[in-house]
Amino acid sequence: MGVTINTVNLSPAFREVLYILMAVLFVLLTIVFTTNKQKPLSALKRSFVSVFFIAGMLYALHADLGWSTWLATDIRTFAGLTTDEKLLKLEGGLYDFVRKARTVVKDDYQIFSTDSYFAFRSEYFLLPLRKRDNAPYLIVLADDTAHYDQKTRTFTRGDIKVQNVDILLAYAPNAYILVKR
């Protein structure tokens, strides 16, 4: 599927109609330019440039219509909401977890997640705190390979094994924060 400048998807039907329109326009413009007493090669060049200009304008128009529809929907959905309310609506549980994490994480942290989207978004929401190795706080978020054993107070993930850690915040079975003691 094709994509325009503003990341508006172009359906195959739209592209086919546009290609047919380009072919018809090319033929018609070549005839018009040739009947205006231009040399055939010059008429072909002008037709070619004109057709691609017109097609580019149609692509831009289609993209802007898609973008303005998206913007209108966005305005209807989020009008009157605060930034926190908008983020809760967009990100759901992820933003709720990070908001709670901000209240308990006071220093550098380390994120463990097998989902890169969750990790990057959490990192962004936790700014200005710094993500570092060997940090006192361990944030586990949607990580399929991480395991915390409450009896032994041990966190394991692959080759990583951290002992003497306590749960600071238990949000969900796969979303929690540990602190090193």
Interatomic CA distance for residues 56 and 30, integer angstroms: 19
pLDDT of residue 8: 61
CA separation for the pair 91, 97 (Å, rounded): 10
Residue 28 has a pLDDT of 95
Query: Which parts of the chain sit beneath pLDDT 70?
Result: 1-9
**What is residue 1's predicted lDDT score, i.e. its pLDDT?**
47
pLDDT for 181:
87
| Residue 7: predicted pLDDT | 59
